[in-house]
């Protein structure tokens, strides 16, 4: 039998995340034959497009999914937050390993924190969710769109083009760049993106033998948490172009979920806290409560129509 072909984006972070999945796999099966295949994605090729229009829409995942469906690769490793919430027919997430840190982090010049940045400081961020929440904390900052890989973003601070950037802590840690962090935001202060810090190992739905093998690296609490978070996003028709945040924790058999929708100008922030036994139902409950609190007005302003799970096609 030939080696299992693992598809990945070619970025340093994607390759590091794939190496982590391979490490987990070979730790359980040292004789496993694994070949890593790098695949270019539309998101990587559209270097100048606003990142908030790409993440969570398939721009970083569709090429890998196409390769899976064609048989060119046997599995793919994704940042879970990049996968669209509507599953692709014929594919499934076979394993969700233990999650990395979920928080967003500030990487600023001179070791500054968010409160320590001077008025008018230039802060780069790739997401409207982060922009909305940071504006509510510091309306006097100049928040600027940001593209490029993690080292490229950090280099803009080093050369003085920006005073700070906001990135995911998990990505920085996976790349060995945690020393560049000057402040980690608690989810109480900056609510994170659904599934942030989590990886999704995707296979063909019919490949039962491989799914059984990969199931050994599954971390059930992480799966339950990200299922609840992504249910919020799905119910609200969200993606990274919509300022929706969600963070769930497993407490015994229950899922404790915090979810929020934030006005892009920083002037309005809605949050709810929900607990339940069923992750998807808990996420849908959170979405209903957000809509009841007025989230629909924020989403309507962004030309998005909210929809609760079960209404219309998935």
HEC string for 191-213: CCCCCCCCEEEEEECCCHHHHHH
pLDDT digits (tens, 9 = 90+) for 245-265: 999 999 999 999 999 999 988
> Taking the alpha carbons of 143, 148, 150, 156 in that order, is the dihedral positive or negative?
negative
Catalytic residue among 29, 44, 48, 82: 82
Residue 59 binned pLDDT confidence (cut-offs 50, 70, 90): low
> Which residues, listed in sequence order, are joined to residue 107 by a DSSP beta bridge?
165
Residue 303 binned pLDDT confidence (cut-offs 50, 70, 90): low
Give the best-scoring range by mean pLDDT among 148-152, 263-267, 287-291.
Answer: 287-291
* pLDDT greater at residue 237 or residue 224: 224
pLDDT digits (tens, 9 = 90+) for 186-208: 999 999 999 999 999 999 999 99
Residue 43: give the domain boundaries: 4-97+199-218
Note whether 246 and 211 are same-domain residues: no
Note whether 93 and 204 are same-domain residues: yes
What is the separation, in whole angstroms, between the first and last Cα of the chain?
Answer: 37
Domain end residue (candidates: 184, 207, 242): 184
Tell me, what DSSP letter sits at residue 109? G
Q: pLDDT averaged over the chain?
A: 90
Compute CA distances 264 → 130, 143, 231, 298, whole Å: 9, 11, 22, 8
As a whole number of angstroms, the distance between CA 302 and CA 300 comes to 5
308 domain residue, yes or no: no
* pLDDT greater at residue 314 or residue 218: 218
pLDDT digits (tens, 9 = 90+) for 39-48: 986 545 444 4
Note whether 111 and 43 are same-domain residues: no
90 domain residue, yes or no: yes
- DSSP E strands: which ranges in 29-121? 34-38, 75-79, 91-95, 104-108
CB burial of 190-208 (b: ≥16 within 10 Å; e: otherwise) equals bbbbbbbbbbbbbbbeebe
- 67 contacts 6 by C-beta, under 8 angstroms: no
Note whether 8 and 93 are same-domain residues: yes
Radius of gyration of the chain (CA): 19
For residue 58, what pLDDT is reported?
56
For residue 263, what pLDDT is reported?
92
Catalytic, 82? Answer yes
Residue 137, domain CATH: 3.40.190.10
Residue 296, domain CATH: 3.30.160.40
- DSSP E strands: which ranges in 126-243? 142-145, 164-168, 183-184, 199-204
């Amino acid at each position: 039998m030939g080696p299992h072909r693992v598809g990945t984006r070619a970025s340093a972070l994607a390759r590091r995340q794939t190496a982590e999945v391979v490490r987990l796999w070979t730790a359980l099966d040292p004789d496993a034959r694994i070949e890593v295949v790098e695949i270019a994605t539309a998101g990587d090729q559209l270097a100048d497009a606003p990142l908030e229009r790409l993440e969570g829409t398939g721009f970083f995942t569709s090429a890998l999914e196409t390769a899976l469906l064609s048989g060119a690769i046997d599995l793919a490793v994704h940042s879970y937050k990049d996968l669209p919430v509507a599953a692709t027919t014929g594919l499934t997430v076979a394993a969700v390993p233990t999650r990395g840190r979920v928080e967003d982090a500030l990487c600023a010049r001179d070791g500054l924190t968010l409160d320590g940045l001077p008025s008018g400081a230039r802060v780069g961020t790739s997401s409207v969710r982060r922009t909305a929440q940071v504006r509510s904390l510091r309306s006097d900052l100049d928040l600027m769109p940001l593209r490029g890989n993690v080292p490229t973003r950090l280099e803009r601070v080093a050369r003085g083009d920006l005073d700070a950037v906001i990135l995911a802590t998990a990505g920085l840690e996976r790349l060995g760049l945690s020393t560049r962090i000057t402040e980690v935001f608690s989810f109480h202060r900056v609510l994170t993106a659904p599934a942030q810090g989590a990886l999704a190992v995707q296979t063909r739905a019919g490949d039962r033998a491989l799914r059984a093998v990969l199931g050994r690296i599954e971390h059930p609490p992480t799966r339950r948490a990200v299922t609840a978070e992504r249910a919020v996003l799905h119910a609200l028709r969200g993606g990274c172009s919509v300022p929706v945040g969600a963070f769930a924790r497993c407490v015994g058999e229950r899922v404790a979920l915090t979810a929020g929708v934030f006005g892009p100008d920083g002037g309005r922030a809605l949050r709810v806290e929900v607990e339940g036994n069923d992750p998807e139902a808990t996420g849908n409950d959170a979405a209903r409560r957000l809509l009841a609190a007025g989230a629909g007005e924020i989403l309507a302003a962004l030309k998005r129509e909210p929809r609760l799970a079960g209404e219309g096609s998935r």
